[in-house]
A = this chain, B = another copy of it.
Amino acid sequence: MTRIQYQECIDACIKCMNACNYSYVSSLKEYDLAALRESIRLDRECADICSFAVQAMTRQSPFVVEILRLCAEICERCADESSRHMQTHCQECIDACRSAALACRLISGAVEVYA
């Protein structure tokens, strides 16, 4: 797979990392912080694996498929958790996580694409 073929997935993962980290810092400023414990934790997990996945794609890692499969799983779990909260930053997180998960699954082969 070439550099160009990863570009959409790289972009989706960067957006997801950005949304997760933004939700992370925003959650830490919320009044009702206690309700967001698990969300804060998963935001960090998701941002970290997205960051790792982006580096792996840009260095054409021989393990891209396995890394993106893991990344998709974590993105999906973070989206699930975010969907339990009403804050705007959580809602933004859901979309970014789902897009990244889909982009990762398209490359790692878990989603069939019919053109």
Whether A63 contacts B70 in the complex (CB less than 8 A), given A14-B14, A33-B34, A41-B25, comes out as: yes
Whether A48 contacts B58 in the complex (CB less than 8 A), given A3-B22, A37-B33, A63-B74, comes out as: no
CB-nearest residue of chain B to A28: B37
Name the one of B34, B54, B59, B73 contacting A24, with C-beta atoms under 8 angstroms. Answer: B59
Residue A97 CB within 8 A of the other chain: no
Whether A47 contacts B55 in the complex (CB less than 8 A), given A67-B70, A70-B66, A73-B63, comes out as: yes
Total A residues in contact with B, Cβ cutoff 8 Å: 39
- Shortest CB distance A56–B (Å): 8
Q: Complex Cα distance A4/B24, Å? A: 16
Q: Quick check: A55 and B14 within 8 Å, CB to CB?
A: no
CB-nearest residue of chain B to A32: B34
**Hey, which chain B residues are within 8 Å of A37, CB to CB?**
28-29, 33
Which of A55, A59, A70: most chain B Cβ within 10 A?
Answer: A59
Q: List 19 A-B contacts (CB under 8 A).
A: A17-B58, A18-B58, A21-B55, A21-B60, A22-B60, A24-B59, A25-B41, A33-B37, A44-B59, A45-B61, A47-B58, A48-B55, A48-B56, A49-B63, A51-B54, A51-B55, A52-B52, A62-B77, A70-B70
